[in-house]
């Protein structure tokens, strides 16, 4: 019987799945494949309902490393979901917080599948130990109403905008063009992500798009360069070169300057989430375009994964490098919300803050020597000299001394 069931399963599903893949480039499935232990379909996209099942089943199978967070529910009833993934997920830990999202534009679909595959692969076999050192928040579907505009069972009518047709990547507060750069109110999806950013304090982020093969780094709205452009250029070049090396024919990820661009150099926009996260939340977020085709054919997803996997993991591993610090009160040992800045280097809010609950901060920088100032309200500022090497972590513990206060008695 153990042999008969898989044979029957193949006969019933194998040939029909192959035929469907040939006739429907955006093929969706609504059930798990009984021939495999994998939850994420190999060469198909999930229906919306099946997407939710995959997310919750991943958390059920890996309760020590994964849980589902519902960041918000849209008027349509569809949800913005994220997988929180880390070793010992039930505990609050001082680890870098890393955000991965895709399908902000509902017709740019490949990243949706890629992030589901990333989540399953890391939970099944985290060979590099990333989940021991970082907290990942994986949101594969940032615009479900756009992706499933034609109904929950099909991506054929997917569209760029949300249910109201608003381009969500023009809808965020902009450092140059104000709170409402596109003239629209902040959309439900925008408000959900703004709340998540404020709550989680992400340190590093990646936002997958489609329509090109490019690593796009800040800024989108400013012509001037981000203060950490040397770091951005380094990680973006590594991403592009790794994707080129791992692709089947070596012709992948070579748009513009060999797969790398500054956002404003490519084309300036206002209201991008990348600039919002970098400017308002001090998060190092990049926009990465991973396929020249927006509605990417499902049958080509396995080959895409082979090409993009190493580059994506390299970028996520950047969370483990740079300056990792803890700021506390010298007397009580309690964590502090502190401002960490590099004089003569930081501008346009490129400095970072420590997390008030745990006191930890993370600063990603190109190799070099830096003078850091760590300050907190009511405490004496500390200066620290840090020398960073490539792909290394510099651990720092800073105990700040409270400024004494003197109360003089008033005479009657």
Question: Which CATH number does the domain housing residue 363 bear?
Answer: 2.60.40.1120
Banded model confidence at residue 91, pLDDT cuts 50, 70, 90: confident
Among the candidates 271, 300, 320, a domain finishes at 320
The answer on 240 and 222 residing in a single domain is: yes
Name which of 30-39, 108-117, 380-389 the model is least confident about. Answer: 30-39
- Overall average pLDDT of the 28-55 stretch: 91
Q: Which of 42, 289, 318, 355 is catalytic?
A: 289
Assess whether 303 carries a catalytic annotation.
Answer: no
Which residues, 6 or more positions from 374, have their beta carbon under 8 angstroms from its beta carbon?
325, 327, 338, 339, 340, 381, 382, 383, 384, 398, 400
pLDDT above 80 (res 15):
no
Banded model confidence at residue 4, pLDDT cuts 50, 70, 90: very low
Helix (H, G, I), strand (E, B) or coil at 195: helix
CA gap 57, 33 in Å, rounded: 14
The answer on 376 and 285 residing in a single domain is: no
The answer on 164 and 313 residing in a single domain is: yes
Taking the chain, what is the end-to-end CA distance rounded to the nearest angstrom? 97
For 122, the token pair is: 């890391």
Among the candidates 320, 346, 364, a domain finishes at 320
Residue 270 lies in a domain: yes
Answer positive or negative: Cα dihedral of 358, 364, 367, 370.
negative
pLDDT above 80 (res 395):
yes
Among the candidates 320, 339, 360, a domain finishes at 320
Name which of 9-23, 183-197, 220-234, 252-266 the model is least confident about. Answer: 9-23
Residue 31 lies in a domain: yes
Mean pLDDT of the chain: 93
- Overall average pLDDT of the 133-152 stretch: 98
The answer on 338 and 296 residing in a single domain is: no
pLDDT above 90 (res 20):
no
The answer on 348 and 316 residing in a single domain is: no
Banded model confidence at residue 23, pLDDT cuts 50, 70, 90: low
- Overall average pLDDT of the 185-200 stretch: 98
Q: What is the pLDDT of residue 207?
A: 99
Banded model confidence at residue 16, pLDDT cuts 50, 70, 90: very low
pLDDT above 60 (res 214):
yes
Strands (DSSP E) along 78-224, which ranges? 79-85, 97-102, 135-139, 204-209, 212-217
Domain that holds residue 16: 4-320
Q: What is the pTM (predicted TM-score) of this model?
A: 0.92
Banded model confidence at residue 286, pLDDT cuts 50, 70, 90: very high
Residue 158 lies in a domain: yes
What is the DSSP annotation of 277-342? HHHHS--EEEEEEEESSSS--GGGHHHHHHHHHHHHHHHHHGGGSEEEEEEEETTT--B---EEE-
CA gap 404, 412 in Å, rounded: 26
The answer on 277 and 129 residing in a single domain is: yes
Residue 346 lies in a domain: yes
Q: What is the pLDDT of residue 3?
A: 44
Question: How many structural domains comprise the chain?
Answer: 2
H-helix or E-strand spanning residue 233? helix 229-246
The answer on 166 and 23 residing in a single domain is: yes
Residue 202 lies in a domain: yes
């Amino acid at each position: 019987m153990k042999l008969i069931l898989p044979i029957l399963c193949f006969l019933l599903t194998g040939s029909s799945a192959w035929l469907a893949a040939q006739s429907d480039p955006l093929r969706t499935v609504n059930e798990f494949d009984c021939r495999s232990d994998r939850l994420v379909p190999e060469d198909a996209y999930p229906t919306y309902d099946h997407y939710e099942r995959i997310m919750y089943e991943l958390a059920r199978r890996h309760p020590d490393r994964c849980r589902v967070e519902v960041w918000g529910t849209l008027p349509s009833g569809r949800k913005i979901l994220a997988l929180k993934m880390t070793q010992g997920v039930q505990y609050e830990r001082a680890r870098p917080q890393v955000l991965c999202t895709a399908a902000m534009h509902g017709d740019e679909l490949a990243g949706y599948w890629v992030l589901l595959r990333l989540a399953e692969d890391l939970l099944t076999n985290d060979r590099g130990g990333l989940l021991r050192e970082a907290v990942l928040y994986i949101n594969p579907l940032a615009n479900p109403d756009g992706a499933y505009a034609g109904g929950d069972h099909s991506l054929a009518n997917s569209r760029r905008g949300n249910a109201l047709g608003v381009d969500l990547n023009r809808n965020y507060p902009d450092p140059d063009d104000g709170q409402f750069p596109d003239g629209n109110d902040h959309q439900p999806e925008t408000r959900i992500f703004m709340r998540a950013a404020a709550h989680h304090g992400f340190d590093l982020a990646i936002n997958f798009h489609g329509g090109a093969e490019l690593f796009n780094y800040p800024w989108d709205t400013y012509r001037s360069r981000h203060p950490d452009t040397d770091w951005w250029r380094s990680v973006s070049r590594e991403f592009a070169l790794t994707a080129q090396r791992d692709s089947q024919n070596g012709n992948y990820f070579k748009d513009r300057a060999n797969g790398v661009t500054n956002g404003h150099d490519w084309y300036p926009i206002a209201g991008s989430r990348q600039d919002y996260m970098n400017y308002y939340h001090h998060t190092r977020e990049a926009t990465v375009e991973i396929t020249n085709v927006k509605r990417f054919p499902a049958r080509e997803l396995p080959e895409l994964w082979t090409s993009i996997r190493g580059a994506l993991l390299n970028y996520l591993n950047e969370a483990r490098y740079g300056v990792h610090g803890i700021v506390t009160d010298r007397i009580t040992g309690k964590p502090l919300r502190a401002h960490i800045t590099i004089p003569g280097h930081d501008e346009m809010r490129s400095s970072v803050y420590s997390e008030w609950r745990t006191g930890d901060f993370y600063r990603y920088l190109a190799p070099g020597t830096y003078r850091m100032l760590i300050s907190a309200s009511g405490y004496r500022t500390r200066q620290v000299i840090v020398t960073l090497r490539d792909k290394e972590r510099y651990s720092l513990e800073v105990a700040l001394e409270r400024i004494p206060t003197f109360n003089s008695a008033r005479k009657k």
